[in-house]
Structure 1
Amino acid sequence: MGDKSFAELIAEGATAPVEGWAFDWLAGRATEERPPWGYARLVAARMASVGAALDIDTGGGEVLAEVPHPPRLLTATEAWPPNVPVARANLAPLGASVVAVSPDAPLPFRDAAFDLVVSRHPVRTDWPEVARVLRPGGTFLSQQIGPGTVRELSEAILGPLPPPAHRHPERSVAAARSAGLAVVDLREATLRTVFHDIGAVVWFLRKVIWAVPGFTVAAHRPALLRLHERIRAEGCFVAHARRFLIEATRASGDPDR
């Protein structure tokens, strides 16, 4: 990308589609380390041994589509309207149903409906609702965004920020326990994230909307130009993504709610 101007790179990042939850557009322009636990592999293994499963905030269904042996009943929810048709197309071969939902609304399923509930990078985990739709003995498995993820990038655009107040793993553990679930696994990882051009930054901030809330190229152009010049001088911009894996179960002796 070294021969392209700031304006050309910005235009590329501002116009490329961001529907779904795949990051293929960043190939050759940005990289991020993968968490060591292999979330997709863990999900696939658990899906093979249950009869009914739910994926919350499925995005475009990209992770769920990789499951080689889906359960008899497979359902996914998605709250961002542009993602819904993408998810339905990706998950049709698995026989999965995709339910469009409203953010923060209760899950539209009966009590104790699922053996397994999974969620990759949920916007917010409604722990009481997760516990409600799990059958006794059921499992919730989720890879979540950790506190201060890609903070270096957020501060490059917005300036210094206060310490992160949300997405702390210990708060998720407490919330899970308050909902009546037992946390059986918790793992954390810090992942090196490298941006090689400002077009990749723009595309990423359009897609990962919580990194810079209200991001637009017009509103943040001076900061983008400063970052562009820094990338040109240093060769890349490095940030760090934070992730945690949490697994919780509903006690097998719980009565159906």
Structure 2
Amino acid sequence: MTANRSFADLVAEGAAAPTDGWDFSWFEGRATEARPSWGYARSAGERLVGARAALDVQTGGGEVLDFALGTAGPDRPDAVAATEGWPPNVARATALLRPRGVVVVAAADDAPLPFADAAFDLVLSRHPVRPYWDEIARVLRPGGTYFAQHVGPASVFELVEYFLGPQPEEVRSARDPERERAGAEAAGLVVAGLRAERLRMEFHDVAAVVHFLRKVVWMVPGFTVEAYEPRLRALHERIGKQGPFVAHSTRHLFDVRKPDS
């Protein structure tokens, strides 16, 4: 329980928690987020079954791919690769995925994919910074699939705007799934399926907020405890009086195919 803990203790705890990888188990008991109904990691594992060669783009710490490979079991592809751009996550993903026979390649998020044309019949990604549709189309074999969960528009913006104030419409509408659909189609891909959901999040203490903003650094760029101490203190008091801070994440699921011809 954190209800009676001091602001200083909670902030210090959130500031000390490690931020590498995409394991969010630290938040257990102090923050919650509803999950999309489609169960991305499990569904990705089902897509791996029968694939010949697969690529996971921006794998983070490799946790989602590791789970998906476990779901696929012995029917997983023989050839699996992953890319990641943040050095601490490259090391973490390599340690986790190498025993599964996955090649992890350090590659900047905004760089061309370091693979040959038509190298994969399945490309996966969970929460890419943005989809590079031309590169995805290039590395997919004809008939191949891109299966990915993207962050949607204005995700967790209740928290973003608590710290930064109201955001302009062009910022709120970034990551719009219909714009991304248009980008996929412009690259010659066919969108076979697109689903979107808005999901409730709750932050039960200020430590969870501090850790979240340190981990998901693009939410409040340049966030530090020192820079936002007054807003953090006010949020701590608000949670104590009103209960959890509520926000909403947005997610959409792409099932995209490269035509056979």
Interval containing the TM-score (normalised by the shorter chain): over 0.9
Whole-Å separation in 1 of the counterparts to 2:123 and 2:165:
38
Structure 1, 142-151 or 68-77: larger mean CA deviation: 68-77
Contact residue 54 and residue 81 of structure 2 kept, 8 A: yes
Contact residue 58 and residue 109 of structure 2 kept, 8 A: no
Match of 1:217 in 2: 225
Summarize deviations over 1:19-78 as a string: whole Å, max 9, x none: 001101101010000000111111101111101000000000001101223310000000
Question: Is residue 2:193 matched to residue 1:185?
Answer: yes
Of 94, 99, 109, the match for 2:100: 94
Normalised TM-score (structure 1):
0.97
Within 5 A, what are the aligned runs for 1:55-66?
Answer: 55-66=56-67
Whole-Å separation in 2 of the counterparts to 1:91 and 1:199:
30
Within 5 A, what are the aligned runs for 1:1-257?
Answer: 1-66=2-67, 67-68=69-70, 69=73, 70-163=76-169, 164-253=172-261
- Kindly report the root-mean-square deviation, in angstroms, between the aligned alpha carbons of the 2 structures: 0.9
Residue 202 of structure 1 deviates from its aligned partner by 0.4
Runs of 4+ in 1 over 2 A off after TM superposition: none
Whole-Å separation in 2 of the counterparts to 1:140 and 1:99:
19
Where in structure 2 are there 5+ consecutive unaligned residues? none
Whole-Å separation in 2 of the counterparts to 1:250 and 1:75:
19
Whole-Å separation in 1 of the counterparts to 2:129 and 2:57:
10
* Count of aligned residue pairs for this structure pair: 253
Give the match's secondary structure for 2:105: strand
Structure 1, 193-202 or 209-218: larger mean CA deviation: 209-218
Whole-Å separation in 2 of the counterparts to 1:152 and 1:64:
30
Whole-Å separation in 1 of the counterparts to 2:173 and 2:218:
13
Where in structure 1 are there 5+ consecutive unaligned residues? none
Summarize deviations over 1:63-94 as a string: whole Å, max 9, x none: 11012233100000000111011101111231
Give the match's secondary structure for 2:63: coil
Contact residue 120 and residue 144 of structure 1 kept, 8 A: yes
